[in-house]
Structure formats: structure tokens, C-alpha cells
Structure 1
Amino acid sequence: MNFTQPRLRLLSILSVALLVVGCASFYWLRHGGAPVDEGFGAEELNEGGIEDISALAPSEVQKRLNYLIQDTGETLRSLERLSDVQLSLTHSTSEPAGEQPLQYESLFVPYTSAQLKAELASIQGLRFAQRLFADGSEVRLDTSTLDPLWKRAAMPDEPTAEQYLPQRLVFRDGSEKTFAEFKAPPKVESEDMIASHDAFALAVNKPLASLGLTVAYRSYPAFRKVVLDKDQPKVTLDGQSFQLMALGDGSASVRLSTPKLSTFVVQGLDDKGRALYSNGNSSRAFPSDGDIAALHDYYNALLQTKDDFKQLKTGQAVQQQLERLSEALAAQAGPLKNTEVDYRFEATPQRIVIHVLDPMEDYTVEFTQVDNVLAAQARYIALDRKAERYGFIDQTGQWLIKPRWVQVQDTQVADTYTLFFPEKPSDPESQWQALRSQLAYFPAGSNKLVDLPFEHITEALSDGLLLVERETNGPYGLYDARHHRFVLPMKFVNPTVTDSLFIARIGKRTDLMEGLYGAYTLDGKEILPTQFSGIEHSAGLLYASSADRSREDVFDLEGRRINLQGYNVIGRFAGQQPLLVQDTKSRKFAFIDRQGARLPIKLPYDEVTPFSNGMAVVGRDGSYGAIDLAGRLRVPLDYDQINAFQTRYAAAIRAGGGTSLVLISQENKLFKELGSYTSMKVPENGNEARYYVRDRNNIDEYLVYDADGNLVQNDE
């Protein structure tokens, strides 16, 4: 049904939009019946509204009046043609076909204006970034802490409408100005307000310290929350009504009667309270009985105006009369709007939640101090946009070093920068220009840059110490940026810095396997010489493998070997548990404490594993058990296999048990039978084991159990 422009204007007064789809239609009480066709011919009509009637000739005024009468009559006749719909709830339990995982939306939990105001009052630490140029600057606000609040203050997927107005500007040199005084002229005409993602320009290049900010925003003063389901399909609150019309087959239909200027959000929730993903919706709005009664009265008043046309005498009098009728129509129409909405979901929801939001209102919030992310400095990077070169300015915006670099970047170290120069191409006809970088710093009290003898700062450590690299894949060293000297020369590769240690191997290239590992303190003292194939720092100790990988020893952080001479380390110290070692000649096992003393634990076994959660698995002649920290055999040698104990249990296979996995306690009590295993992941001294077991009901599938025997996954 196509409406002409005047009819749309008329229906907007009633907040009515009509859509007839299939057999979905509505019925309203007849208020004296719909008018018959007025029978006007095209030559008797002047299409238009009421706003320009006073400018028309008398004959055209009458034609315009005819048009308004016919337009209103057609609207009433359209409403009359709509038929009734059954208002009983339709409920279906069948689900859409398919086993795809369901998608969910975020639950809509709106803020009222009062809640939003309270949240905004608690916001601290707003910041901005400033780019400095030769002829001005650009400021970009960081609104990441505010954005979640705006989302709660708006409907889902609704773009935020907040705007930001800078106020007082405080500069690094101590001066203050208003934003209006230094605002750069816009490229296009615009208001002072800016959107959160926009940057605003200043006509001055002085570094800012902070600024004041006014934020204008819109939010809902209040809302109503209504829950509908098959047991409670209809709710009425203060004249507003909410009715669930249909529920099933992955869809729901609701009929609402809500205030005309309000908005609403509908979500379908599953049995766990999660919002199901909506595949789309369609809506139909229709007038109330009061709206139609008002439209009938308006139609009759138009007919009376036609009868009184001669008494009105002028077009201006007719226009004034029609304006009064329109105002009366708007006043007489009911305050509620009727809407029916069909929603499609990936599954049938258990209940429908409706939020009805009051009309949005305008608010503002003041942030008196928004800080510059760039800390106060002796000098600042600035760009000459005409020359496309970077230099350094002071806090008043004056050049300290005039622009000469293609790019200048901050580093992790104060007063240290990466400078980029253009390199001459090897091919004079080449259009591509390579860049060369150089690290440089400003000595204290100087504005002259000094080059640094390395290309990359890999990591900034404590107290001004830097892990640096000479070139890509090149050697590393430790550099003291406070005193500008090397603590360790650049002759190491594959470095690891942990706590107070530097572990690396001698070499010139990281992509070549050369040299052996050593360990040093961060002040350059050698702990272990460079004679090991690998060194690991763990819990305050160093585990080092010999150059030929035949032996592993453990050292303290002074470089003293802890394990006994002639014994090889197996595993790691964990908590207060002893460390397992093995005599390299006799192959006998022993346990030592953290001081290296051998513990009086007898080990008459062929196999011993490190302690895990207070138990060590032992074996003799292919049978396995487990001992406790005192060396007592708590689990007898009755198993074909025992894995490392987790916090409470160990996975084991009883003698003759094939691949049937069980969980046993430290007291050798059977806790659970898991079944025939396919694989497992069992860390030491943890509780994160995973056991993959054949499904008894389907041998082509397997179940996954955790360390406590809980089913955590069923892989298809």
C-alpha cells in the first residue's frame, strides 16, 4: 500500500504505520462505520498539506480541502478492511533441524540516567594523545573507559551519540587558554562538539598537560522490564499491555501497547538465562481504538469545514481552522502505540524479556582534568607537514632541532629515540626508497643527539638496564642506559633474562648453532662459564646440561653445584620435595635435599620417577607401585603402569588389566574405573591431567576425563 506524502504526514500525528502481510491483520471497533468513497474527480483535487493553504486561490483552497477529506477517508477505509486475528497463544515444542552450536547475544542490561550519572562520576584517569606539528597540533581523546557505559545507555547495536566539547586547555609551559581561543578553523563548517572517534585540531603546537572536557550524551530516564512465557503470556502494567502471541519453531511473536515516544528491546532467553541470537524480525504497528476515534472526528470536522467554506471567506481562515483541527487530533489521540513483532531465533526461547525504555533525554557531564598520555619532557617530537620531516620542539612550541628525519619514534627509554633516514637506492631509476634507522639519545642537559652502538632495544629491564641487539639476527648484550656503558659485551645470542640472571650462549648470529651457554648476574658477574649445551633457571636454581648432553647438574645462584659428584639430576626440585638423582656408574637412584645432602630413603628398585604431589612411582621387574616422602611403599608393586600423581589421584593399570585405566588414591584405594585409554596428558606436580578413554557405547568415540575423574569433554 503506497501512501502519498500528505497521508504520511497525517498518520504521523497518530503514530500509525500500516503493513498488511498475508492473513496477519487486525480488527478495531467500528466508530460509526468507515466513510463511503467521496467520489471526487482528479480535477477536483489539489494534492498537498495544510501549511500553504493561505497562499492558494479560493478555488484551489476548496480543491485542497477535498484532497484532505479524501485522504483521511481512504485511511479510515483501509483500517476498516483489516480483519480480526485470534489472540490466543500458539505454543510449539518442535525445534529447528540441525545440531550446530547455538550463538548467543549479550544480555541487554540497560542503565537508567541516574545509574549512568553515578558511573560517570566514578570515572577517573581519562587521557588524550597529542600530535605536534610545525603549525599546530591534533588531539585525540581516549574514551575506552567511557565506551562500555555508552553501550549500556543505548539500545543493542545502536551507535553511540555522545559528543565531546573541550573546555580549558592547560599547556606544559604553565599557560592556560580556552578551547575556543586556540581551536583551528575546521575544513568544513561544524559545531564545537566532536564525536569520540574524531581528533580535533588546535592552532598552536605547544604541548598540552591537560584539558577540561564537557560530554553531552543522551540516556533513558527509566525503563520497565517484562518477562513473558507460556505460563504467563500476558502482563498489564499501568495501562500498558504485553502479550506473547506465539512461541515455538525457533520464533516468537509479541504484541505490545506502549507509550508512543518510548522504544523497546526484545530478547529470547534459554533455560540458562542466555540471550539467543536473533536471525531477524519483522514488525507491524497499528492504531488504538482511541486513535481511530480521533481520526473519525477529524474526518467529520473536515466535512464540516467544507460545509462552512463560504463563512470562512479566506484561505488564511481555512488554514487556521485546519491547524486547530490537527492540534485537536493530536491531543485526542491516545498516548499508547500498538505494535506486533515477530522474532526468529536459532532455537525456541524459554521466555521473552522486554525492556520498554522511556524517551531519551539530554544530559552533560564535566571532566575537569583529562591528562596527556605523553609525560612532561624537555623536548617533543614534531612534524613539519609541508616538508614531511620530523624534528624536536620545546614546551613552548619552538624548534630545538629543525625537521630532518623521515620518522622519529619514541623508545622504552627516556630521551632515547629511533631516527629514520632515507637511503639512496642502488638503482637510480627505482621509485622505492629504503629507510635506515639509528638509535640516538640526548645526554643530560643537552639538545644534541648522540648515536648509540646498537640497532634494537629488545627489552628495558630495571634501573635503566637494556637488553640490546646490534642488528637483526645479530649478537646481544646488556647496556646501562644511565651511564651509557656495556655491562656485558655484544657477543651473545639466544639470551634469556629472568629475575637477576642473564643466560645466553656465545655467538654472533642467532640463526647459527654455535657456542655454548653461560650464566651471569645483571651486573656482569659470571655464575656459570660458557661450557653448557643448555641452562634453565627454575625456582632460584640453575639446571645445566653438559656440552655433550650426557649429564645434568643443578647449581645455586652463586654457581655452586648442589647434586653429588658423579650423580646425574633427574627432574626438578618442586616445593619441599627432594630431587631425584642417579649414579652415572652404578645406575642406582637417590634423593637429595636443596643443600645436596643425600636422604636416607632406600630405593631397591629398577625404576624411580621424581616426586609428584608427595608420591614417587617406583618399579621392579616390570611391576609398579609408589612411595611417599618418607620412602614407605604406600602403593604396592601390583600395577603394570602408574602415572605421576596429581593432587589426589594417579591413573594406573592393574596387573593384567590391558589398557583399562583406573584412578587410585595415595592409600591405594580404587576411586574410579575410567575404561580403555587411547592416550593421556599427565604433568608432574599438577592437577591438569587429561585421560582419553574409549566410549563403552561407541568404540569409535572417546571420552575425556580430568585428574579427578570428571567428564570434561565428549569429542565426536
Structure 2
Amino acid sequence: MNITQPRLRLLSILSVALLVVGCAAYYVFSHSGAPADEGFGAGELNEGGIEDIGALAPPEVEKRLNYLIQDTGETLRSLARVSEAQLSLAVETTETGDGQPLQYESLFVPFTSAQLKAALASVQGLRFTQRLYADGSEVRLDTESLDSLWKRAATPDEPTAEQYLPQRLRFRDGSEQTFADLKASPKVEADDTFASDDAFELSVNKPLASVGLTVVYRSYPAFRKVVLDKDHPNVTLDDGQSFRLTALGNDSASVRLSTPKMSTLVVQGLDDAGRALYSNGHNSWAFPSDGDIAALHDYYNALLQTKGDLKQLKTSQAVQQQLERLGEALAAQAGPLKNTELDYQFEATPQRIVIHVLDPMEDNTIAFTQVDNVLAGQTRYIALDRSAERYGFIDQAGQWLIKPRWVQVQDSLMADAYTLFSEEKSSDPESGGRALRSQFAYFPAGSNKLVDLPFEYITEALSNSLLLVERETNGPYGLYDARNHRFVLPMKFVNPTVTDNVFIARLGTRTDLMEGLYGAYSLDGKIILPTQFSGIEHSDGLLYASSADRSRQDVFDLAGKRINPQGYNVIGRFVGQQPLLVQDTKSSKFAFIDRQGERLAIKLPYDEVEPFSNGMAVVGRDGSYGAIDLAGRLQVPLDYQQINAFQTRYAAAIRAGGGTSLVLISQDSKVIKELGSYTSMKVPENSNDARYYVRDPNNSDEYLVYDADGNFVQND
């Protein structure tokens, strides 16, 4: 929370003090020598201030002085009726809260003016967008890169109000002019500024290259940071500022401050981890210092003296001038500091209170000499004729190359290519008889004539100017060479994926129909695998392909060479340096192979074998299960009725005859932890993200969740 303390006349400050006396009994003040009641009757008073005394008749001048004397005297008497209380830190230890997760605010870390100026000077890459019309253009700044800096220059409750002033405009055709010469509206003054999210209009439609920009902003020249906690509740600075923590506990804190009258305060409550707790609100009260009260006494006496000098002052104007001089002297005498009391409510009791006292804001400017157009230089640009509501193309000088005729024109990922939208008749009654038709077209080099392209969408831009393109919604895909304007792969594929320079897709004309088989191609159009597979997956530089009848799976390298031996079916995937499990399709015997397809000398006298997971493979014989390591050694004996895939350290298993009682075992068969009767599991291979759900022994309707290492995660 931040509190701004504006400059006020002393009488206004002291009138607030009367509210303090009534609303917060624990803040009280004393001052000796309070005046007695003046005893003026209602007919002797003329209520008001000093600003219009010069216009009053002499009898009313005296009545106004009587009112000022009585008002000031009553303020002093109110202050004298209370005595100075002795303040000490009150610490509450009561724990509160409903157990809900706490909210936090952003930790306030301010920039001084010098720091902000240095940070702004290092900013690069400011940009803008420009919309071109037949009769002018609109420019919108992209200042997102400055947002984090403005946030550091502001307070949590009051963002900065930076303004932007365009200066020198540089166009794509090489010309330059000032914004003042080209502003679109005569109502806009040359020195008018714009907010970052505002657009400004120009009277010309020439494409801009860059803009010179002046930014006007306000910032804090300096600040003081003070930290208060129960062990250090009082801080006094060398310039007289004082800070006192008067209460802490019960999700709240109270602070008494004496700070400069023009300063801004930012107060945050931090937890033991240094996070700023969310504040549910705060109250604040201002009250006078001893110097303020002494100045008010002098002002009271000066008012009495002025009343006694009425005959010498002669005119009401002279009286007003005399009182204005007294007011100025009073303000100077009152001193620079103001006393404030703050009560904050938080979502939890803070461990410490951090207070930033920010000096009064100052005005600053910074110049960005070159803010660039987002759109790079082109031969032609999209422009809108606002009267006809149609789009066309203009050159760098703003002249029409193709007159407006399209309802919409959109840029694309392909240079000099556009999607053009035209209206056409429609038989659909809900469309009002009109519909939009889109066409993809491009400008050949050196030409201003559009040429239609045989596709409608660019799905993805690939390397070497290759584009994955689609003819229509749910239609076929192909690979298109945008540089040479030719197809690398024709538009006869659907469900494509492109990874690591491999194009995998199936033959077909519609993505919503199951037709054709999958093949794999290099991005230069060469066949890696022919279109004869029910599915192909690219993983870690290898291709895993399922036969058309899904009866077998093989693994191939990116040259299309099969790695698994002839007659062996692939089970699982190569992961890291772990071997791949294969099975003889005739004998059903298992084997492990390396990445070159060589069978490893691992004996597998088992009727069940699982792929390796984190260096261990589960094996089984006659319904009993164990696990082998990468050398084929049986590290976990066949003593279990179930073993799940090993995680980084442990596997979940059920002992023979153990029912549903789940235990965690290590890679050397040690029981690490008994989890209990499981209900379900999520056990990914080659991971450490397993989750085990077991029944709560204290509540059969609940279950407990454990992670892969047996740590309790949550009730569910």
C-alpha cells in the first residue's frame, strides 16, 4: 500500500488532528498555555477563510477575524485537553487464519530517477505498427519492453502516467518530416503527448521506417528504506524521520511515522521467507507535531495582534495581505515533517514491516532517436480505403499499385504472399446471401501482378524456405518451396508431422477420413519409408513403424534401414543407452539388441520380459516376477506377484501372496517402505513421476497419495 502526503496549509493539517483525537484515543498530544474561550456571540462571527477578506466591509472584516481567532483557539484547546500517551510495542501471539493458501503481493523494489534513466538508456528494440489508409495512416507504439521499468518507477497502487511525443518521422522512401507537420488532426497540438496504448494519426499514408520519440515521465529522485520488527521496533534517521512499530499480531500491524510532508509511503508486511503478504486494507491518521502546534500558537497570537491593529491597517485589502504573510510564515515555521499513524490488516501476521519513504516525484524526459516499424521494408504494402471499405496495395510513396477491391488482405509466413478475401453470392439463407471466399496468392519477383497459389493455408514455416501448406480445411497437405515456388512433396498427404527434418504423413485427401497408409520422407522429398505402415513414430533419431495389419513393429534409422533382426518384433523404445527389447515372432523368445541391431549376450530364461526402465527390466516366470539389471543379472528374485516399472530409485511391487499390499523396493531388492492397500497407480516408464494411491487405514472412503520415492503427497 502507498500513501501520498500532499502539501497542505497548516490549519488544514491541524483540523484533521481533531478527528484523530476523536477516533484514536491512543494518539494524544499536549501543549501548555492553551487560550481561554474567546466568548464571541453568533452575531460577532463571519464564517470563512482569509481568501475573500479584501472584499468585505470593515465591520465584517472584524467579524471574520473573530471567527479565525475562535476557530484557531478551539483547535488549541482541543489539543490541550489530552495528554501525551506513552507508546510501547504490543505483540499479539494469537494464531488466526482459516488454513487457506496465503496470497502474496509483488515485492516493492523501486527505481530512483537515476536508476530508471540508466535502465531506459539501455533499452533497445522499441517498435511500432502502422496501418495504412487511402487518406492517411495510424501508428500504434509497442512499449511492452518498458512495462517492467515503469513498474519499478511506480508504487503498487499508482502506476506511472508516462506520455509519448512523436518527433522526427522517417519514411521508407527516404524522406523525413516532423510529427507537427504531419499530424492528422488540427486539434492535436505539436506538444501533445500520447499514452502507450493510444494510436496517433498522420495525414500521409507513406510507410514509415522509424520514428524519433520523446517520453515524458515522473519518477522518484531518492528513497529511504526502513525495516521494523519486534526486535527492532524503533528507527530514527539522521534527518529527524522516525518510525515506530506500535502493534504486531492478529494478522495486523500498526506503525507511527514522522516523515516529510511531500513524501510517498509504501508499506509492506513480509513473512519469514521475505514474501510480501496480501493486505486486506489499511487506515491512516495524520496528527500535528510539536512544531506544528507551536506554529499554531504563534498564528493565534498574530491573529489577535492583527485585530488590535485594524485601525492602522485601514483597508480590508491590507488586512488580507497581512494574514497572507502570516500564513506563509506559519507554513515555514511548521517544519517539513508530518506525523502519521497506520493500521494494516494482512492475511497473516507479518514477521517484519518494510517501509519505503519516497521523495516527491519529479518530471523527466528521455529521447529514443529510432523506434522501428514492426513491418520490414517491402516493395508494396497493404492499405485500406476507409470510404469503400476495401483493401489494396500501395508503394513506398503511398501510391496505389493495385486499387482496393478485397474485403480483407492478410500477410502470411511467406514473403510477398497474401490471403485475399472477397465477397461472393451464397445460397445459405443464414448468410444473408453473401459469403467470404479466400484465395492465397503471391507477387513474383519484379512484378506487381498477383499469381494464385494452389493452397489456402500455411500451417508451418520450416527451414530453408520450406512451408507445410494445406489446401483447405480438413484437406490435404504438402511441402512447398517458397523460394523457388515449387512443391517438394505434392498435396496428397493428411495428418502430417514434421520433426528433425523428417516428414511423416499418410496418403489421403481428407483428415477426417481414415484412408491410406503412412510413409516417411526427408524434407528434400526423398522416400525414407514407403506408404505401407499403419503408423510411424519418430523418436530420438529413429523411426518406429507398425505394419499395415498392426501385427508387428520394426525400428528404422533415418536412412530407412531396419535395425531389429529379421523375424523379431520390437517392444518399447530405445531410451538413452538402454537396449531395446525384441521378441521372435515364431518362438516368442525374448532378446535385447543395441542401436546397431546386434543381439546382446543377456540370457532370458523367462516367459515374460518388460522393456528396461531406469536400468532395470521386470521379468517373470510361471506368474512370479523379479527384475534384472543391464548386465542381465537377476537383482530382484522372482518373489513377487507384481512389479511395476522402476522409477529413478524404486519400484512398486506386491509380494507373492500379498493381495493388494503395495511396497517400494530398491534395485537390490530391499523393501524401502510399505505403502498399504493400493487402489490405483500411475507408473510411467523411465521417469520418476509415479503416483501410488492407497487406502487410508483410518478412513476406508479416502486414499493417500505417495510419490515415486514414497513421500506422502496428499489426501484425496
TM-score (ref. length: structure 1): 0.93
1:381 is paired with a residue whose SS is strand
What are the superposed Cα offsets for residues 530-562 of structure 1, whole Å, 9 maximum, x if unpaired?
A: 222211111111111122222111122222222
Instruction: Note if contact 2:58-2:316 (Cα within 8 Å) is conserved in structure 1.
Output: yes
Partner of 1:688: 689
Letter in 1 for 2:565: L
User: Please, which moves more after superposition, 513-522 or 567-576?
Assistant: 513-522
Alignment of 1:375-414 (within 5 A): 375-414=376-415
CA distance in 1 between partners of 2:59 and 2:145 (Å)? 64
Partner of 2:72: 72
Partner of 1:535: 536
Answer yes or no: is 1:120 the counterpart of 2:120: yes
1:629 is paired with a residue whose SS is coil
Partner of 2:3: none
2:236 is paired with a residue whose SS is strand
Instruction: Note if contact 1:15-1:287 (Cα within 8 Å) is conserved in structure 2.
Output: no
Q: 1:17 to 1:169 in 2, by over 3 A?
A: farther
- Root mean square deviation, CA, Å: 2.4
Letter in 1 for 2:446: G
Q: 1:629 to 1:179 in 2, by over 3 A?
A: same
Letter in 2 for 1:228: L
Answer yes or no: is 1:636 the counterpart of 2:637: yes
CA distance in 2 between partners of 1:392 and 1:540 (Å)? 46
Instruction: Note if contact 2:34-2:73 (Cα within 8 Å) is conserved in structure 1.
Output: no
Instruction: Note if contact 1:284-1:339 (Cα within 8 Å) is conserved in structure 2.
Output: yes
CA apart distance, 1:655: 3.2
Partner of 2:466: 465
- Equivalent residues, number: 707
User: Please, which moves more after superposition, 254-263 or 473-482?
Assistant: 473-482
CA apart distance, 1:427: 6.9
Letter in 2 for 1:691: Y
Partner of 2:199: 199
Q: 1:52 to 1:685 in 2, by over 3 A?
A: same
Partner of 2:62: 62
Partner of 1:145: 145
1:513 is paired with a residue whose SS is coil
CA distance in 2 between partners of 1:448 and 1:77 (Å)? 91
Instruction: Note if contact 2:541-2:557 (Cα within 8 Å) is conserved in structure 1.
Output: yes
Partner of 1:591: 592
CA apart distance, 1:14: 6.3
User: Please, which moves more after superposition, 135-144 or 636-645?
Assistant: 636-645
Partner of 1:548: 549
CA apart distance, 1:425: 4.5
Alignment of 1:27-42 (within 5 A): 27-41=28-42
Partner of 1:163: 163
Partner of 1:666: 667
CA distance in 1 between partners of 2:81 and 2:698 (Å)? 62
CA distance in 2 between partners of 1:104 and 1:597 (Å)? 58
2:291 is paired with a residue whose SS is helix
Q: 1:331 to 1:23 in 2, by over 3 A?
A: closer
CA distance in 2 between partners of 1:10 and 1:289 (Å)? 12
Instruction: Note if contact 1:543-1:555 (Cα within 8 Å) is conserved in structure 2.
Output: yes
User: Please, which moves more after superposition, 58-67 or 162-171?
Assistant: 58-67
Alignment of 1:342-381 (within 5 A): 342-381=343-382
Instruction: Note if contact 1:13-1:330 (Cα within 8 Å) is conserved in structure 2.
Output: no
CA apart distance, 1:525: 2.2
CA apart distance, 1:313: 0.7
CA apart distance, 1:214: 1.8
CA apart distance, 1:412: 0.9
CA distance in 2 between partners of 1:701 and 1:387 (Å)? 68
Answer yes or no: is 1:503 the counterpart of 2:472: no
CA apart distance, 1:81: 5.2
Answer yes or no: is 1:477 the counterpart of 2:489: no
What are the superposed Cα offsets for residues 250-296 of structure 1, whole Å, 9 maximum, x if unpaired?
A: 22211111111111111112222221111111111111111111112
User: Please, which moves more after superposition, 590-599 or 685-694?
Assistant: 685-694
1:557 is paired with a residue whose SS is coil
User: Please, which moves more after superposition, 347-356 or 13-22?
Assistant: 13-22
Letter in 2 for 1:687: N
Q: 1:429 to 1:34 in 2, by over 3 A?
A: same
CA distance in 2 between partners of 1:699 and 1:118 (Å)? 64
Partner of 2:281: 280
TM-score (ref. length: structure 2): 0.93
Letter in 1 for 2:588: R
Answer yes or no: is 1:172 the counterpart of 2:166: no
Alignment of 1:216-365 (within 5 A): 216-238=216-238, 239-365=240-366
Q: 1:72 to 1:187 in 2, by over 3 A?
A: same
Partner of 2:5: none
1:101 is paired with a residue whose SS is coil
Partner of 1:185: 185
1:574 is paired with a residue whose SS is coil
CA distance in 2 between partners of 1:427 and 1:547 (Å)? 42
Instruction: Note if contact 1:40-1:66 (Cα within 8 Å) is conserved in structure 2.
Output: no
What are the superposed Cα offsets for residues 82-103 of structure 1, whole Å, 9 maximum, x if unpaired?
A: 6765623222222335222111
What are the superposed Cα offsets for residues 305-332 of structure 1, whole Å, 9 maximum, x if unpaired?
A: 1111010011221122111101111011
CA distance in 1 between partners of 2:79 and 2:426 (Å)? 78
CA distance in 2 between partners of 1:397 and 1:278 (Å)? 55
CA apart distance, 1:452: 1.3
CA distance in 2 between partners of 1:646 and 1:222 (Å)? 55
Task: Structure 2 unaligned segments of length 5 or more: list them.
Answer: 1-7
Answer yes or no: is 1:575 the counterpart of 2:582: no
CA apart distance, 1:444: 0.6
CA apart distance, 1:473: 1.2
1:596 is paired with a residue whose SS is coil
Instruction: Note if contact 2:18-2:78 (Cα within 8 Å) is conserved in structure 1.
Output: no
CA apart distance, 1:111: 1.5
Instruction: Note if contact 2:517-2:533 (Cα within 8 Å) is conserved in structure 1.
Output: yes
Letter in 1 for 2:68: L
CA distance in 2 between partners of 1:275 and 1:364 (Å)? 32
CA apart distance, 1:404: 1.4
User: Please, which moves more after superposition, 87-96 or 310-319?
Assistant: 87-96
Letter in 2 for 1:151: K
Instruction: Note if contact 1:48-1:64 (Cα within 8 Å) is conserved in structure 2.
Output: yes
Letter in 1 for 2:396: Q
2:545 is paired with a residue whose SS is strand
Q: 1:346 to 1:108 in 2, by over 3 A?
A: same
Q: 1:428 to 1:591 in 2, by over 3 A?
A: closer
User: Please, which moves more after superposition, 168-177 or 27-36?
Assistant: 27-36
Answer yes or no: is 1:100 the counterpart of 2:89: no
CA distance in 2 between partners of 1:134 and 1:46 (Å)? 67
Q: 1:73 to 1:404 in 2, by over 3 A?
A: farther
CA apart distance, 1:674: 3.9
Q: 1:70 to 1:221 in 2, by over 3 A?
A: same
CA distance in 1 between partners of 2:413 and 2:38 (Å)? 82
Q: 1:410 to 1:35 in 2, by over 3 A?
A: farther
Partner of 2:513: 512
CA apart distance, 1:230: 2.2
CA distance in 2 between partners of 1:186 and 1:566 (Å)? 84
